[in-house]
Structure 1
Amino acid sequence: MPRSLRSPDTMRLLILTLRNYRVHREISISLDRSRTLIGGPNESGKSTLVEAAHRALFLRAKTGGNLQREMLSTLHPGDPEVVLEFEAAGKCWELEKRFAGPRGSTRLREKGGATWRDDEADSKLAELLKCEIAGGRGAAGTLPDLWSHVWVWQGRSGEDPSSYTHRDKDRLVQHLQPSGASVVLPSVVDQGVVERISNAYETLFTAKGKWRAQSPPELARIRRDEQVEALSRASEVAARLAQAADDQLRADREICEVQAALPKLRRDLQLTEEQLQRVATLRRDEAHQQEAADFATARRVDLETQELAIRRLDDERRLKAESIAPAEAALKPLTDAESSAISAYQEAERAQFKALEMQRSARQHHDLVQASLAVIERSELLQRLLSRSRDAAALQEQLATRRSRLAQLPELAPRELSRLRQLESEAARCSAALEAMAAGVELIATQELVQLDGESLKVGELRILTGSGELQVGDRTRLRIQPGGGTTLASTRDRHLAACRTLSSALEKHTLRDLDHAVEVVDLRQSLEQEMARLETRWMALGGAGLATDLAQASVADEAAREELRRRVDAMDSAPSLPSDGNRALHEVTAKREALRVADETESRTRRQLEHAVEKRDAATAASARQREEVAAVRQSLRDLETALRTREETHGDEASRRLQRVAATELEARAIGQLAATRKSLVDHQPEQLSADLERFRRALATQESRLRDAENTRLLSRDRLILDGSHDPNAELLSARARHAAAELAHRAESRRAEAIELLHELFTSSRDAIDRAMVRPLADRISGYLQCLFGPGTEARVVLTDQGIENLELVRPNDPSFSFSTLSGGAREQVAAAVRLALAEILAADHDGCLPVVLDDAFAYSDPERISGLQRMLDLAALRGLQILILSCHPSDYVSFGAHEIRLSSR
């Protein structure tokens, strides 16, 4: 049977509900049995949904610390809660967890069966999932690895498959062994040879392929290295002795050269330092002369600036004195215009006040009649709603009666009735088959005692056998009777008993006597539901649940209208007459609205006239004020200019004295500038920059020569000591002896190395044979991965994998006419796609532990895949769904998966 047509005895996620979990206050989603697409923008809570489902399945509810704090909501109060409905082991389960640290709770309920809580619930859940439940201090490190082969977390879709397959390696091998059973296994003799070679290899080599310590080749290598080191030391001693003699001769020559050059370098350095001291004296003189020249220039500029300021003040004073008379002449007509504008404003203000009084009276009468009309209309509406409320109450009473009758009946849907009929048919078929295969034993006549299964059989008695039985005639004859061939009859009887038990369990689940009782219950429920639907339609037509609200609002509105009318009557100067019905009220509202319109137009006209008068008054007043301010400003400016002019003349003297001061300042400036130029010319002649470079050069040369002298003297002392130390014996004789010992050690090392290499070669040959067996075992896994990859990369695409103790390793992608690519060399998008194919193949194989189905969660798993590859990805995911897997995709771009044909859930941004 294809996996897509299997019974629901599989591992599937059905309904997920979150409360107070991060951004979600409360949300519930139903997942399709094969394909589900959850779409939404970033920060909409997609990843939160699958994280909550994963933690509900694999994390203990009493876990605290960072894991529990990460689940808390900063928006909604309360402990995080997750409710997950799922199928497993052929049954439907409901798992509820409240993550509250030590106060956390767990409840696992089998639909229509028992309920487990806390530790018992976690143990039962681990049994269903065939996986441990994380908890305690190590939960944060363990949790992401649980079911990591089918749960692709955001940002981890491109990881190497070896990172998430090592946990399931043993289960994977267990399922692959039947597929690779045709591989030829080694014989007992072969095993013995392999064991001897393996022991010899392990004696010589470590796990990393290096020689073991104390092994013959390693000891030979150590002896050879010791002789190499001894030969190197003898060669170094002979070389040092020859080098010491050369160093002493070279040091003597260098000491003579340095001692000859040092006196001239010291004289040149002293002369350069004396010239630089003269340059420093000239620079100090230059700084003092620059200050004097700057002071003289500043004095001259200051005197000239003061003279210009005095002349400018005198010119401004004459201009201000001439502008006073015209400003005063322009002030008289502006003052007369201001008085005329004020009189016109006062007249317009009186007319505006009269119009406002008329408008207030007209508005009072209009609002009073309008309030009276509102009281009449709202009272009529209240009466209509009261009538509808009485009718709706009668319908609700009838609905309550039907609901009570419906609640007393078992909850049995038509589709469950169909299933009961199928179970009854199956039980009937098994019963008919059992009766057809049964055998009858009848005793006609006998002189002996006849027993059937230990009980005496009387003459004329007939017994029916549905199973094997033992017939004994007398003391010496015993017969075994097996109706229907024995095994077939037993199988038929087992199926009959199983069918009867299943039918009885299904009837007991709904407290039903038999199938006729079930038909009667379904018919009665449908009849009651139809009547309730008709009554609810009539109740909704009358207003439904909103009728009570409408009635309360109408009552409040009626009371508010009456209170508004009372306030309007109290505000009138005299008691008014009110309309008695709606038509008269409408007529009076129209009349009062026309009177109010006339009053509003009169008020608007007088207001515009008043605004115009205010504008003219303000303009005249502003013009007069500006002119007065201008006259006052001119007079004040003239006084300020006269005061400033007197102050400057008192400070700096009259015009003649100021002229003499300017001439003296100019002469002082010329003398200071001349002295500064002479000093600067002397500095240029000394070339101070060149002197500094010379000083640095002489110091550097002197230091270099002194260093050479010290180094040469040290070299001469060291070489003399080396000649004394190494010259006490013959280094050349020791060098020849060391070469002979090295040659012998090298021959021994080569012999041991050849033997070790031969053992290593044999070990590699037998290991490669064992690897061939492993490759044959892993071939079914590679074929499944290749089938998925061909949906993406075309026909002929293959996957090559190696199954080691760490899981899947050395994964390669091979395409026709292209070189193979290891997983690490693929692009980001290709790594996501190949890793997804591996996950789907693993899920397909490991689903055997869960009756053929596992959920595969892909949280934004293809962030680096281009649109063209997305189409192929949908083909690959659809193939996985057809093979029985439940595919759940989360994406920020759900439009990319339109052609996937999945049940779609959209989340909005928060």
Structure 2
Amino acid sequence: MRLLSLTVRNYRVHRDLTVNFDASRTLIGGANESGKSTLVEAAHRALFLRAKTGGSIRSQMVSTLHSGDPEVILSFEAGGMRWELEKHFAGAKGSTRLTAQAGVVLKDEEAESKVAELLKAETIGGRSAASQLPTLWSHLWVWQGQSNDDPATYTASHKERLSKHLQQHSATAVLQSANDQRVAGHIADLYQQFFTNTGRIRSNTSLDVARAQLEQAEASLAKAREVASRLNQAITDHDQASRDIAEIKLQLPTLVEHRKHAETKLREVEVLRRDENIRVEALRNAKSRREALEANDQTIRDLQKKLDTAKAALQPADVQLAALTTAEQQARNGVTAADQLLKEAIASLRCIRIQHDIEQAAVIALEKAEIHQAISTRHAEAAQLDQELQNVRSKLDKLPTLDAQGLSRLRKLDAASSQAKAALEAMATSIELITADTSVILDGTSLAAGEARILTDSGDLVIGNGTRLRVQPGGGNSLTEARQRVDQCNDALSAELQILALRDLDHAASILEQRQTLEPQLMGIQTRWEALGGTSLAQQISRATSELESAREELRRRMDLASSSSETPSQPADLSSAKERVSKTSHELTSAEAAEISARMRVEQAREKLDHCSAEVARYRDLTATTRQSVRDLETAIHTREEAHGDSRSREQALTNLREAEALANDQLTTMRATLADLKPELLTADCDRFSRAISAQENRLRDAENTCLLARDRLTLDGSTDPEAELRFAEARQLLALDQFQAEQRRAKAIETLHQLFTTSREVIDRALVQPLADRISGYLQCIFGNGTEARVQLSEAGVEQLELIRNGDPSFSFESLSGGAKEQVAAAVRLALAEILAADFEGCLPILFDDAFAYSDPLRIQSLQRMLDLAATRGLQVIIFTCTPADYLGFGAKEIRLINRSSSSQQIQP
């Protein structure tokens, strides 16, 4: 199954768009909202959605930009033939048309049935279509946002076909005899009788009844023990509670007195702290006024210093500005002279570079021609070996499939037949009457003289009137059973020979000898063919031809470019002369480039000098202007501040007064804090809390002790009417009897459970051997991303591929659920590729797999490794189609690239 092309009309954003797919690798790129996911959906619905489907699912397909019903035309290969499927989605008026390569046309229901036959999956429609569509071929259509789903969600529906192919690929066959299966079934039935699917004991079984009886006996025993213990405990509790009550009533008044003393001291601390806050605020105000006046005084002094400095710097700056203006004009003249030299060097370099490029292109073209000739020679030799391979394979195909084990099995069947015949001959008994003077009767029939009979079972021989003999052939065994054994052995041998299309053992030995001669010969030719390149030779010769044409075209373009100049260079005659000319022009080009660089450096130096001079002139002009403006600004600022804060003498007097007020406030605050520290307020608070906790604890303890006395007195009144010890001994006897019965039933259930686990473990070993080919393929893909040594482990159940684990060298295993979003995308993609590779056997060895922006969580570095995995899948026969909004990330994939660049009218595409 391979997709060839897709055409969509009036489908959402697309009016009329056609996409042609590559046979193995296609990359479709475009920005968001360009319609990539629409193409993925259109191809899927063309294959699986009936054209007459209406309702909301069709409404989602209808375009809001273009008029007309949605149409999809899909060309594909399937069943060894090319098909074109055309669907017109118009509700009840919808139509389906399927055209075969031979020209046969099927319509509507007949076409839908044929598509379902080719896809081995039903097409759907109606109300349930919306929920069923995403599940159809979900292992091949990787929908956007679902790339990191658990593999079980898209493998369950293919479990039966997958198991069939895995059995064919498995290297070993693990079988169970019929007797094993019957025993396993019987054990499973017994297990189901005793246990549920979760391993719990079923209700109403003998084990459950015994357990219930044991639990009842244990409950009765526990109750009896509790009554006895409760009675003893009540006596103890009453005595202890009485002692506690007396002790608490003695200590509680002392604790209350200590707490009152601490609370009185705390009230004194609160008064002192309010006075402290007042003193702190007074000190803060005095300090703030002093700091503000000091800051203003310092600002006025700093402004005066800046004014004096600015006035002194004005005169030297004017002298320097005149000198810099003269230097600027000299630098401008130097730039003009350097520019002229640079133009001459560039013209010379261009002529030499054109000649050098032509000669390099000639060398490449001649080298590509030699490579093309060498590959063509290898291709012819490989074609001859391929013909020899076909001849040997044809001879092998004509021979029956027989190996050494098959011949050994035939010889065992022949030996068994010979042994059965010998046993038959040994068991038969012959009786012949020679002469007799009286009557002889064998099993009620007279035996005449000279007559012989063969006995196959026991018989009575009567001689005369008084003699009776019992004859038993073969020591009493039945001759009929021996004859049946001979027939069975002969039938088994004949059936095996018939299956292998063999006449006899000699014919089988001859066939095996021929196969053992041809198979090494086939392997030898195959090895030589692969050493020459095998299947890649066709790609190599195609690539070499393409590269040769490209090199020749490049040389022609260089020659055409050179022909437009004043001199037309000649083309080298051979590779040797071309390389000599390249070497010569390389030296000339190096010299010309050095001259051009030197001229360019002189221009740059001259321009740098000019820029420096111009910058200095501008800087000194700005500096003098700035300095004059600064002088005016400083004079204004000083005058404004002196008006607000006074002259130097008045500011000094005000500062002296503020410093004295600040020192007085600080002394008063220090005295207040010393008084407060002597009272230790932090310890007083802790003392109050401590005494309060102690009082509360003692009061709670008193209430608890009083309650305990009351409860103990009630318990003694209620439980003292019976004999708890006698009831306890009776309950212990009943518990021991129930325990013995439960342990017996438990041993029987444990034996059944152990046998069930053994058979289940054996079944798991068989399942692991069955699923190993799938795990090997997944591991091969994952090694492209995570490196050698990476291994995947899976299990195959009714729900599909489950318990997927990723193992790397030196690391513990990681379950699929524990992986990051990007790693889930990559591992899930490996599972899809391995699954598609195995199931492709039902579709001529190829299936398409579409990724719709499937690696959103993968970083750019990991995307490069992903391309190696996708390329391996394409090499193994799958058709890989990638839809992405970042096609630049997949340039190393080597795929046919299609760019969607417009979502209005008819969407255009770029196909490099």
TM-score, length of structure 1 as denominator length: 0.49
Work out which of the two has the higher radius of gyration on C-alpha atoms and give 1 or 2.
1
